[in-house]
Amino acid sequence: MRGAAKRVSLRGLLYLVLGAQSLVVLFPLWLMFNSSLKASRQIFRDPFGLPNPVFWKNYLKLFVQQSYERYFLNSIGVSVVSLLLIVVVTSLAAYAIGKYRFRGNQQIFFYFLIGLMLPIRLGTINIMQMFIRVNLYNNLLSLIAIYTAMGIPAGILIFTGFIREIPDELRDSARIDGYGETGIFLRIIVPLLTPAIVVVAVYNLIPIWNDFWFPLILINRDELMTVPLATARLFGKHETDYGLLFAILSAAAIPPIALFVTLSRYFIKGLTAGAIKG
């Protein structure tokens, strides 16, 4: 093949492959959302057709009979508090690590980074015992503690990278202006960290929101369940009601997809932070 013809066919091939992958990604998700708006009978008779008529009752059942919103509230509460804690404690520690030279600085940084490679669930036995001992079994605080610990390594990595880029002159001139160390952090550093704060929060949000393992181990009271655990429990309970099953799955899938679509830029930044540079 010669020049121009080759280029055209390559372009065609490119769109063909990307188009095929788009179908592979979208088809199962479309099937799920589409079926969630159908009556079970139509799901079986006509699995690929559009909802006819649109059957909202699946969602009504989910929210009215199953009070699904409380699982949402639990998930939102746990995620928001954990993210706040992660941002606060890791930005403080990253500032100390990134801007001060002291003995053990590198070792502490390394100690935090080990956590990036360690699945926290290997410590589940002890975690469970610990929470039973302090009477926090069946308490959302236990999840908050775990998720905060889980988010610390990535938070430290991302914040330290950002903080090291901030020129020292800013700090020195603030000192001359009479700011104390805390004043410098709050007035000078934190405002500059805003983009990093978003990256850290968004990066940690998805694993926290989606975690199933720790609620499965630490929560068994229905009113305390988070979305993934409630999804599994409801799924097992209504095995034959396909319309409801797809509504359950769609309700669990919509928030992370919506968040990702709006915040994907920050998410991708968090994922590749450090890893590429290092």
Partner 1 sequence: MRQRKIRLFLIAYLLPALTIYTVFMILPILQSMRYSLYTGTGIRPDQFVGFGNYVKLFTQFPFRLRFFNVLKNNVLFFIMVSVSQNVFGFVLAVLLTRRFKGRRFFRSLFFVPTALSVIVVGFVFKLILNPVWGVFDRMLRSLGLEALIRPWLGDPALALPILSLVTAWHFVGIPIIFFTAGIDGISDDIIEAGRIDGVSVWGEVRHILLPMLKPIIGIVTILTFVGNFSEFEIVYSMETVYGNPEYATDVFGSFFYRTAFGTVMNNVNDVGLGAALASIMFLIIFVGVLFFLRITRRET
Residue list 126-165, contact with partner 1 (CB under 8 A): 126-130, 132, 145-146, 148-150, 152-153, 155-156
> By CB under 8 A, is residue 63 in contact with partner 1?
no
Give me the least distance between CB of 60 and partner 1, in Å please. 21
> By CB under 8 A, is residue 39 in contact with partner 1?
no
> By CB under 8 A, is residue 176 in contact with partner 1?
no
Give CA separation, 164 vs 94, 98, 113, 156, 269, in Å: 9, 5, 16, 12, 17
User: How far, in whole angstroms, is CA 146 from its chain's centroid?
Assistant: 14
> By CB under 8 A, is residue 112 in contact with partner 1?
yes
Give me the least distance between CB of 52 and partner 1, in Å please. 17
Q: Please, what is the angle between helix 140-165 and helix 124-133, to 10°?
A: 120
**Footprint on residues 217-276 left by partner 1 (CB under 8 A):** 217, 227-228, 231-232, 235, 242, 245-246, 249, 252-253, 256-257, 259-261, 264, 267-268, 271-272, 275-276
> For residues 198 and 268, which CB has a smaller minimum distance to partner 1 in the complex?
268
> For residues 37 and 93, which CB has a smaller minimum distance to partner 1 in the complex?
93
Give me the least distance between CB of 126 and partner 1, in Å please. 4
SS3 136: coil
Nearest Cα to 67, choosing from 197, 218, 222, 192?
222
By CB under 8 A, name the one of 57, 61, 70, 121 that touches partner 1.
121
Give me the least distance between CB of 92 and partner 1, in Å please. 4
Please report the DSSP string for 139-206 in residue order.
Answer: -HHHHHHHHHHHHHHHHHHHHHHHHHHS-HHHHHHHHHTT--HHHIIIIIIHHHHHHHHHHHHHHHHH
> By CB under 8 A, is residue 14 in contact with partner 1?
yes
Rounded Cα distance, 45 and 88, in Å: 53
Give me the least distance between CB of 191 and partner 1, in Å please. 18
Q: And the tokens for 47?
A: 């699995």
By CB under 8 A, name the one of 53, 117, 168, 176 that touches partner 1.
117
ω into residue 153 within 30 of 0, thus cis?
no
Residues in the interface with partner 1 (CB under 8 A) total: 90
Give me the least distance between CB of 36 and partner 1, in Å please. 11
